[in-house]
Structure 1
Amino acid sequence: MPKIVIDRDSKKEIIRMIDSWKGKLSWEELCIYISNNLGLDNIVSRHTLLRHDDIKIAFANKKKILKETPTNNIDIGDKALEKAYERIKTLEAKNSRLEKEISVIKEQFVRWQHNLYKYNYDMNLVKSRIDEVLPDFDRANRKNR
């Protein structure tokens, strides 16, 4: 059975790495960078990363931003101001990525809604059932199985 390299926490960290990436971005450079920062013995493959849609979206979005942004580095001189400038760039990349993810989710919702209607599901019944409250789950008192 293959070793699971990308879990929920490492996926968030990988997306953060992509959002804060500076300079030329390629899958090869990203794989090496991720492997070094996550302390992996082997270099994670591009195919492993491509299995995760949110990583694909983050990568494509960052590539687009890097292509559109001029590469001339501004030497401000003030370290705090330069750090703030970098923080702004990282937050802009994150914001752009999140907007793209929201767009994908909205498209998926509309597709599901259309398909439910197409197959003659009672939309009122679906709505009443899909909006049911989740049951409470007490993890503290859960017994190990």
Structure 2
Amino acid sequence: MAIKSLDTDQQISIQALIRSWKGKLTWDLLVTKIESSLAFTTTRQTLDKYVNIKNEYKEKKRLLRGQPVSSDETELLSYLQKDIDLAEKVIQLEAELKVAKDEIGYLQAFIQKIVSIGASDPNVMAIFNKTLRDIKSKAQHCES
């Protein structure tokens, strides 16, 4: 059964899959590739609900328009299936890492903004510090 909502890791994996996409891209092909490569089932409608995934899809479609088949794709066909699978996995992981780094950058900027606001408002800094302690406490409980 298709999942109706995606967690952050699934969203990042899907964005990475789209970024590393080669050849014709359609929602149906993407849903099929997600099922085979990422081992979960979703629908076009679910994917369409996520702005980050929809934007990644539109951008990749724009980049792929009118692009001829590259010699790299022709070379890939000559490799053994195992080599193709490994190469695709590396591309997928590199794209996933890029998406994760982008997300971390956004989160770091957000935290810096909170810290700068907190520098002038002690109440905001107190809430920020309490939240940080709660996160550390939960992390320690998970390690135990």
| CA RMSD, Structure 1 to Structure 2 (Å) | 4.1
1:117 deviation in Å? Answer: 1.9
Out of 93, 96, 115, the residue aligned to residue 95 of structure 2 is 93
Select 1:34's aligned residue among 31, 34, 38.
Answer: 31
Deviation at 1:115, TM superposition (A): 1.6
SS of equivalent residue, structure 2 residue 111:
helix
Inter-CA distance 117–44: structure 2 relative to 1 (3 Å threshold): same
Q: Percent identity?
A: 10
Q: CA deviation at 1:39?
A: 5.7
Distance of 1:14 and 1:47 partners within structure 2: 12
In 2: Cα distance, 1:130 partner to 1:92 partner: 32
Q: CA deviation at 1:5?
A: 2.6
1:109 counterpart residue number: 111
Report how far residue 124 of structure 1 moved: 7.2
1:49 lines up with 2:46 in the alignment: no
Counterpart amino acid of residue 106 in structure 2: V
**Max Rg structure:** 1
| 1:77 aligned partner | 79
8 Å contact 1:32–1:44 — kept in the other structure? no
Q: Residues 81-133 of structure 1, C-alpha deviation per residue, up to 9 Å, x if partnerless?
A: 22221111111111111111110110110111112223x21687456533334
Q: How many residues align?
A: 119
2:141 maps to what in 1?
A: none
TM-score (norm 1): 0.55
Considering fraction of residues, name the structure with more helix.
Answer: 2
* CA 123–25 in structure 1, closer or farther in 2 if over 3 Å, else same: farther
- TM-score, normalised with respect to structure 2: 0.55
In structure 2, list runs of 5 or more residues that go unmatched: 36-40, 139-144
Structure 1 residue ranges without an equivalent (≥5): 136-145
Matches of 1:46 and 1:123, distance apart in 2: 36
Cα distance in 2 for residues equivalent to 1:131 and 1:114: 16
